[in-house]
Amino acid sequence: MLDLPIHLDGAIRNQGRQVHAALRAAIVDGLLAPGLTLPSSRDLAAQLGVRRNAIVAAYEHLASDGLIEARHGAGTTVAERLPEPTPPAPAAAPRLAHAPVRARPFLLGQTGTDARLLRRLGGLVRRRIAGATADELGYGDPRGSAHLRAQVAAYLAANRGVRCDPECIAIVSGTQAAIRLCADALLPPGSRVWMEDPGYYATQATLRAAGLRLAPVPVDDAGLDVAAGARRAAGAKAVYVTPSHQFPTGVILAMRRRIELLDWARDSGAWIFEDDYDSEFRYAGPPLTALAGLGSGRVIYIGTFTKTLFASLRLAYVVLPPDVVGRVVAARAAHDRFPARFLQDAVADLIADGTLAAHVRRMRARYREARDATAAALRESAGDALRFTVPEQGLHLLALLPEGVSRATALAIRDAAEVEVRLLSDTQLTPRGPEGFILGFSGFESAALAAAARRIGRAAREIAGGAAQRSPTARRRVRHPTVPLE
């Protein structure tokens, strides 16, 4: 009897398991052919230097797997019918279109690391886990923690003018998850949806992944052009809008447009997805009332803890019109249900004891400083090559290149400056107007932001300053209704 071509894995503690794993791999890989007679347990024990009992246990395990057959008197053989051998594992890791990006300026979605907040959150989560009741460990209400929903309802009433029953709130893992959930529950496949143009690229992807068709609606200096939407896609079933701070232009949706939008939604039975993604960070004047605060049972309001806390927390919330709560919750139950229960309760504790509000105040001051450092460094380094207004709200700044500068040139500037920056054209469904950079200024030190801003400012002046001079349109006054930032 030849020795079997197997090697034991010393990392597995139990000898029987070691032998089982090694034989299983050899059989599945085709090293031991169907019908092959295996050595007696005594012989194999001697070959491998293990106890005979380990071989007996491994053989029994393989027999219950169906990989070997023990015939009384005829010894043990590899099963006659076996699956095809496993193809070899891929040499390289799979290539991903969505590979993670490095956290360097001006990556969007970073937030301030604050040791005080993290310590407090960690302590609250620990207490919630250690003290969990049996009910809290089981499947629960698919809307999420009642404690957090009550805190969110109180916060929205006091700060955003949104009055809602906590029963109409669902806790979700992010804004895109909320949009997807409601789209699946409320919109027939193939429906058209008004999308702000330019608008948030992640939502474009989400709506497309949900099988919906995007109807681009231009944004001017009063926000979404409702009349243009009604002309171009009157039959749309929904609209995605960022009324408090349009992404990426920063425009506020004017009251007359809000009323037009609510009227259109009511008359056409369409849903309004209101993404209120950064209203906690307003640097001048109080936060504006949310669209959902103006009434109408057509607004699906979405808020998030991604900006007030951090992105990898994966916690957001959606306020549903009362008559669709049942449908959305049913869809929810057949999907991800809710984020980890104790995490929701810990964040509710963080709101209830005032820690979150204090954290937001600290971060607002820090982000204002970061914004000012970024703006000052851009101004002093870029000359005429970048134009921007300093935003009164939010965590990003939009800097426009001279008209005529191409996307390729903008990418060259980005690469020369060694920054992570989104281009304005990434947000456009209809390419037009000047190219620009969307600079996230939260989550980085002011000094690092200023240095990065100087790099991109200088690169813009060197690369695009020249390009703009060569462009026949460069001397024209830059004025375009979709990006009214000057």
Residues 198-227 that bind its own copies (CB under 8 A): 202, 205-206, 208-209, 211
Tell me: does residue 10 bind its own copies (CB under 8 A). no
Check if the beta carbon of residue 274 is closer than 8 Å to that of residue 291: yes
Which range of residues in 229-237, 319-327, 367-375, 426-434 is near its own copies by CB under 8 A?
Answer: 319-327
Least Å from the CB of residue 382 to its own copies: 26
Check if the beta carbon of residue 247 is closer than 8 Å to that of residue 277: yes
Binding-site member from 51, 127, 362, 407 for its own copies (CB under 8 A): 127
Q: Identify the burial level of 134 via C-beta atoms within 10 angstroms of its C-beta, where 0-12 means exposed, 13-18 middle and 19 or more buried.
A: exposed
Tell me: does residue 192 bind its own copies (CB under 8 A). no
Contact positions with its own copies (CB under 8 A) in 342-381: 342-343
Closest to its own copies by CB, 213 or 232: 213
C-alpha distances (whole Å) from 201 to each of 193, 249, 405 are 14, 13, 21
Please state, in angstroms and rounded to a whole number, the distance separating the CA atoms of residues 104 and 443.
9
Least Å from the CB of residue 86 to its own copies: 3
Binding-site member from 10, 49, 90, 235 for its own copies (CB under 8 A): 90
Closest to its own copies by CB, 136 or 466: 136
Please state, in angstroms and rounded to a whole number, the distance separating the CA atoms of residues 291 and 63.
65
Please state, in angstroms and rounded to a whole number, the distance separating the CA atoms of residues 386 and 374.
12
Tell me: does residue 5 bind its own copies (CB under 8 A). no
DSSP string of 313-379, one letter each residue? G--EEEEPPGGGHHHHHHHHHTTT--S-HHHHHHHHHHHHTTHHHHHHHHHHHHHHHHHHHHHHHHH
Q: CA-based diameter of the chain, in Å? A: 96
Please state, in angstroms and rounded to a whole number, the distance separating the CA atoms of residues 434 and 421.
16
Which range of residues in 155-163, 400-408, 422-430, 449-457 is near its own copies by CB under 8 A?
Answer: 155-163
SS3 30: coil
SS3 422: strand
Least Å from the CB of residue 293 to its own copies: 7
Tell me: does residue 426 bind its own copies (CB under 8 A). no
Tell me: does residue 285 bind its own copies (CB under 8 A). yes
Which range of residues in 15-23, 213-221, 230-238, 364-372 is near its own copies by CB under 8 A?
Answer: 15-23
Binding-site member from 235, 312, 472, 477 for its own copies (CB under 8 A): 312
Contact positions with its own copies (CB under 8 A) in 20-79: 20-21, 24-25, 28, 57, 60-61, 64-67, 79
Binding-site member from 156, 215, 315, 363 for its own copies (CB under 8 A): 315
Binding-site member from 15, 41, 110, 381 for its own copies (CB under 8 A): 110
Least Å from the CB of residue 203 to its own copies: 9
Please state, in angstroms and rounded to a whole number, the distance separating the CA atoms of residues 165 and 184.
23
- The site that binds its own copies (CB under 8 A) totals a number of residues, namely 129
Binding-site member from 173, 249, 304, 409 for its own copies (CB under 8 A): 173
Please state, in angstroms and rounded to a whole number, the distance separating the CA atoms of residues 141 and 65.
39
Strand partners, 224: 219
